[in-house]
Every structure is written in C-alpha cells, then in structure tokens.
Amino acid sequence: MEQLPLIISLVIVVAVVLVIVFAGKKSFGKFRTRDIVAIGIGAALYAVVSLLIIPVGPNTSFRIAIALLTILGSIFGPIVGFLAGFIGHALNDAFMYGSVWWSWAFMSAFIGLFAGLICKDKTFDVLGGKINGKQIALMYVLAVAGMAVGSLASYAGDVFLYGEPADKVWLQIIIANAMNLIVVGVIGIPVTIAIAKIRGRGRNLEIEEDPPDDQLQEE
C-alpha cells in the first residue's frame, strides 16, 4: 500500500478543485475554457519552478515560484490563482517527498486567490494594459492579506492536524512570509505591472496604425 498516500492526495486535490470551481461560479461568475488551461499550465509551472529553492530555515525555503501565483491571479482571477497554487504545491510535494503537506498547500493557494481578487475591479485588466496607481497599491495590500490568511491555515494544519510544535510553526511562518513578501514585492507585482504596460503600449500602437473610417473615406 505504498501508493496509498498518493491516492489519498489525488482524491483531496480533485475534491478541492470541484468545490472551488462550483463555488467560484456563484461567487466570481462564468468559468471559461481559458481558465481551465491557465490552471493546468499554471499548476505545472508552479510545481516545476518550485524545485528551485534556497533553504533559509527549518523546512522553509526561498521560493521564487511564489511570483507566478501573483501573476496568474492578477491575469486570470482568484479561482485560477487558488487552484494553480494548490495543485502546483501538491504536485511538487508529491514528486519531491511522496506525500503532500496540505497546510502549506493552502498557503500557496491563498496567496494566489488574494492576488486574483484585484480582478473584481472591472477597470483592472493586465492583458488589456489597464492598471493604475491605486490598483498597484491594492495588489500589495492583497498580497499581505493572502499571506496572513494562508499563515492561519498553515498554523492550524501544522499544529492541530500534524501535531507540530507551535513555536516551530510560527518561526517557519515568519521566515516563509518574509521570503514571500520579497518575491512578490520585487518580482511578482513588478512583472505584472510590466506586462500591463507592455500590453498597453501594444494596443496604443494598434490604434495609431489603424486610422478612423472617416479618414479612410477622405483619402
């Protein structure tokens, strides 16, 4: 029964995906094909990039992959951010350790979910090149909020589910959040801003290159 932990992990992942997808339809609107594709590719990328880590504390590491959750959430919304983080973290744990540390999978998931809440602002559109200063500030606030909620989930899971010492868990959470803030603040959000600005310039060029119909008629 060596495969039992992996089978249980797979069942949990599927169950969480179904709950989030169906609950998300009611809370965040229509679930599109591109969202499913984004979840699949995003989770795979997060799992692979999560292999690139630098240990910085007890079972804690500097993980550049966290930046992907900010980018994915900001572009595709909270459901994609949540599931890409949750599934990607679970895949990485299953591959690296043979089992999943679920409490920390929810840390990744909540970071992605809160990053995606910025999409509730209908004037915000990364791929459309629409972003302003207030929205950028809100992205940082949401990043901190996501880490706070994720920390509560990690603490509760580690202490009450896995029986880990509370002092050790708090140390891990403090170190992990310090590293996550650096990655999100220096890479995740700036890259998202850069994508929006590049897309915005591209759209402006398209408008300039296509003259209005009345100008075409005059010519």
| Residue 34 banded pLDDT, cuts 50, 70, 90 | confident
Instruction: Quick: pLDDT tens for 61-119.
Output: 999 999 999 999 999 999 999 999 999 999 999 888 888 888 999 999 999 999 999 99
| Residue 209 banded pLDDT, cuts 50, 70, 90 | low
Residue identified by tokens 């915005």 is: 200
Q: Would you list the domain boundaries of the chain?
A: 4-209
DSSP for the chain reads -TTHHHHHHHHHHHHHHHHHHHHHHHHH-PPPHHHHHHHHHHHHHHHHHTT-EEEEETTEEEETTHHHHHHHHHHH-HHHHHHHHHHHHHHHHHHHHSS--HHHHHHHHHHHHHHHGGGGSTT-BTTTTB--HHHHHHHHHHHHHHHHHHHHHHHHIIIIIS---HHHHHHHHHHHHHHHHHHIIIIIHHHHHHHHHHHHHHHHHHHHHS--HHHHHH-
pLDDT at 98: 81
Contact in structure between 45 and 39 (CB atoms under 8 Å) = no
Q: Which residue has the higher pLDDT, 79 or 8?
A: 79
| Token pair in block for residue 214 | 């009345």
| Residue 152 banded pLDDT, cuts 50, 70, 90 | very high
Share of the chain above pLDDT 70, in %: 78
Mean pLDDT for 162-168 is 92
Q: What is the pTM of this model?
A: 0.83
The span from the CA of 98 to the CA of 2, in Å, is 9
The span from the CA of 139 to the CA of 67, in Å, is 13
Instruction: Quick: pLDDT tens for 191-207.
Output: 999 999 999 886 655 55
| Residue 1 banded pLDDT, cuts 50, 70, 90 | very low
- Altogether, the residues listed in the chain come to a count of 219
pLDDT at 33: 82
| Residue 216 banded pLDDT, cuts 50, 70, 90 | very low
CATH of 4-209, picked from 1.10.1760.20, 3.40.640.10, 1.20.190.20, 3.40.50.1110, is: 1.10.1760.20
Q: Per-residue pLDDT for 29 more than 90?
A: no
Mean pLDDT for 4-12 is 58
4, 50, 68, 27 alpha-carbon torsion, rounded to 10°: 20
